[in-house]
Amino acid sequence: MTASSTTPAARETGAREVVLRVTGLKKRFGPLEVLKGVDLTVERGEVMCIIGPSGSGKSTLLRSMNHLEEIDGGRVELDGELVGYRQHGHKYVTLPEKFLARQRTKMGMVFQSFNLFPHMTVLQNIIESPVGVLKQDSKEAKATAMALLEKVGLAEKAHHYPRQLSGGQQQRVAIARALAMKPRVMLFDEPTSALDPELVGEVLDVMKDLAREGLTMVVVTHEMGFAREVADSVLFMDGGVVVERGHPHDVLLNPQMPRTREFLSKVL
């Protein structure tokens, strides 16, 4: 696995600052080896799209990055800090829950199913973690939340409940909620897969805006148009390994590996 291509953000400054580094990541569920040694790096401002067939380990990879899964080998580092563990002599011990919770706030996660709290308004959903976990002043958190709702085009829905919103609107709220924690990197797991086709565009548009603003993003997606247009790098996974990674034009239009070609012939 080679380092990623230079991102637009990095080109401007001449720097290549790695935000997220995954090394030799292994994960199994009982006898099933799901991740068989995954290596990748994401630089500041980079948008990486992860593609691959169902069951190839994409969701497990994202969940492992954020230590929502206990990993069986390798390491994940965010801004040079080990995720989920701390070194104790030659051993690695799992971080206590308090530290883990704090670390998780540095990676924003958006899932296929929007996962909003149904009994809270849109605004309450967004300020819940900034106030509860980051101990932000609630007035300040509300102001930030309103600015984020403005950004995702939903300021007028602040006092609505999730059930009163369309799927696309709920997903935009979920994005605003993740952004409210000011994460170093945003992880998206097929954020548009559960949406009716006519609602996909509004969510992708919000994500395009975030990419343009220089947010560091890892996006598992089947939206090849989005990957081609927005990604700085595309990573193709199959069977728990990274098969191919590179610039979207290379991986999507001129793939080198037969498995990538076969997959793309089915989805493009």
Judged by CB under 6 A, the number of residues near ligand ADP is: 11
State the binding partner of 165 from Mg ion, ligand ADP, none, CB within 5 to 8 A by kind: none
Asked if 267 touches ligand ADP (CB under 6 A), the answer is no
* Binding flag, residue 59, Mg ion (CB under 5 A): yes
Q: What residues from 3 to 62 belong to the interface with ligand ADP (CB under 6 A)?
A: 29, 32, 34, 52, 54-60
**Cβ at position 246, least distance to ligand ADP in Å:** 20
Radius of gyration of the chain (CA): 18
| Contact string (CB under 5 A) for Mg ion, positions 158-197, x = contact | ----------------------------------------
Per the DSSP assignment, residues forming a β-bridge with 25 are 38
Which of the choices ligand ADP, Mg ion, none does residue 29 contact, using the CB cut-off of 5 to 8 A by kind?
ligand ADP
| Cβ closest to ligand ADP, residue 62 vs residue 199 | 62
Site for Mg ion in 2-41 (CB under 5 A): none
Q: Cα dist. 233→62, 131, 191, 238 in Å? A: 16, 35, 18, 17
Contacted by 57, from Mg ion, ligand ADP, none: CB < 5 to 8 Å by type: ligand ADP
Shortest Å distance, C-beta 219 to ligand ADP: 13
* 54: partner contacted, choices ligand ADP, Mg ion, none (Cβ within 5-8 A by kind): ligand ADP
Is the Cβ of residue 69 or residue 202 nearer to ligand ADP in the bound state? 69
Would you say 43 or 69 has its CB closer to Mg ion?
69
Least distance in angstroms from the C-beta of 22 to Mg ion: 17
Q: Where along the sequence are the contacts to Mg ion (CB under 5 A)? A: 58-59
Q: Where along the sequence are the contacts to ligand ADP (CB under 6 A)? A: 29, 32, 34, 52, 54-60
